[in-house]
């Protein structure tokens, strides 16, 4: 059979294939295309999921888009675009002693750094422990990352905090720092806020700054301890003096009260005597007015009668007469000179 005849029959048989076989071939092409697309999605992964507490920054050919991406799934073109996820939750930096390495991240959003070493106004070394709470401003996150990079915490928070702490604490003497701790803490926080808020686009929201510990040189600690002991002793002496003063005032008040009482009592006694004297004087005046010559004559007669009666018993009695013929008022028994009687 000629070759061209064989080709004719093959062509005829090919054209006579069933339609379902033709349809299966077309579907397989679609399936292969879908599989290839899935493999490309898995390998290239041209999407990113933004979680709550995060924002996404889309970068197209090295240019940062100004509007941040909200939480959710977002697609990009691999090789041309990429999406950077940044944390907008509250973050903490602890500056404290006994940290062996810089930037030790203990847990999500918490960073440990060495304590801040400062020189006081006389050049003495001081160590400051401080905690700073802050978070990235989500609205200006693209501009912040474009300006400061992904190490924005080091360039903004760490740099500002160390500078402010050294400037503020360096104004004071070491021995004055514990006494003025509250004042220093307020100055540190206010100046950190002022410097961070003055940055363009307000990249960071500062939440709190807490001054936790101040480590002084041993000699300064001893000096402060001696001063505190001296102050406590002075307070004790002052208390004792005040107490003694109060006791003295109490005794003086009691003495004054007793003196006043005695004075009132004496005045009462004097008043009583005066009243009695006035009463006696008035009585004597009344008696004096009542002594008429006739009454006195009668009294003389009565007394003379008593003397006469006495002479009957004691005939040797001596009688003394008062001048001017006044009746006798004294007699003495001559037999018993030891006995005398006053009438």
**Tens-digit pLDDT profile for residues 300-337:** 777 777 767 766 776 666 655 555 444 545 555 555 55
Of residues 101, 59, 109, the one with CA closest to residue 84: 59
Per domain, the residue ranges of the chain are 17-85, 88-216, 234-290, 293-342
What's the whole-number average pLDDT of the chain?
79
Neighbours of 41 (CB within 10 A): 13
Q: What is the mean pLDDT of residues 45-65?
A: 90
Name the 3-class secondary structure at 331. strand
Q: What is the mean pLDDT of residues 157-167?
A: 95
Q: Give kind and range of the element (H or E) at residue 83.
A: strand 81-87
The pLDDT value recorded for residue 291 is: 63
**Whether pLDDT at 94 is above 50:** yes
Q: What is the mean pLDDT of residues 198-225?
A: 88
Which of 153-157, 223-227, 240-244 holds the top average pLDDT?
A: 153-157
**Whether pLDDT at 340 is above 50:** no
Give me the CATH topology for the region 88-216.
Tetrahydropterin Synthase; Chain A (3.30.479)
For residue 317, give every residue at least 6 positions away whose Cβ sits within 8 Å of its Cβ, in sequence order, or none. 310, 311, 331, 332, 333, 334
Structure tokens at 68: 């941040």
The pLDDT value recorded for residue 314 is: 67
Q: Given pLDDT bands bounded at 50, 70 and 90, which one contains residue 6?
A: low
The pLDDT value recorded for residue 265 is: 80
């Amino acid at each position: 059979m000629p070759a061209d005849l064989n080709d004719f029959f093959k062509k005829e048989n090919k054209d006579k294939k069933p339609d379902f076989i033709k349809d299966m071939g077309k579907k397989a092409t679609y399936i292969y295309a879908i599989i290839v697309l899935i493999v490309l999605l898995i390998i290239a992964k041209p999407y990113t999921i933004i979680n709550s507490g995060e924002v996404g920054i889309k970068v197209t050919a090295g240019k940062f888009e100004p509007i941040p991406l909200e939480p959710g799934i977002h697609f990009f073109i691999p090789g041309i675009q990429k999406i950077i996820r940044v944390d907008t939750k509250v973050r903490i930096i602890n500056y404290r002693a006994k940290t062996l390495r810089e930037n030790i991240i203990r847990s999500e959003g918490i960073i440990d750094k060495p304590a801040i070493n400062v020189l006081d106004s006389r050049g003495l070394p001081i160590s400051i422990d401080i905690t700073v709470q802050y978070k990235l401003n989500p609205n200006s996150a693209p501009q912040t990352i474009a300006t400061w990079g992904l190490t924005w915490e080091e360039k903004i928070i760490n740099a500002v905090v160390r500078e402010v702490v050294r400037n503020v604490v360096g104004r004071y003497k070491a021995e004055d720092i514990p006494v003025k701790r509250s004042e220093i803490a307020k100055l540190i926080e206010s100046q950190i806020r002022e410097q961070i808020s003055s940055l363009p686009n307000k990249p960071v929201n500062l939440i709190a700054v807490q001054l936790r510990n101040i480590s002084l040189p041993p000699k300064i600690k001893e000096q402060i301890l001696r001063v505190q002991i001296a102050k406590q002793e002075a307070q004790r002496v002052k208390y004792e003096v005040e107490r003694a003063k109060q006791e003295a005032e109490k005794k003086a008040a009691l003495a004054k009260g007793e003196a006043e009482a005695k004075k009132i009592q004496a005045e009462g006694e004097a008043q009583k005597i005066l009243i009695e004297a006035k009463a006696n004087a008035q009585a004597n005046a009344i008696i004096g007015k009542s002594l008429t010559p006739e009454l006195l004559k009668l009294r003389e007669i009565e007394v003379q009668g008593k003397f006469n009666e006495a002479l009957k018993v004691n005939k040797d009695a001596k009688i003394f007469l008062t001048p001017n013929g006044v009746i006798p008022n004294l007699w003495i028994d001559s037999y018993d000179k030891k006995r005398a009687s006053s009438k």
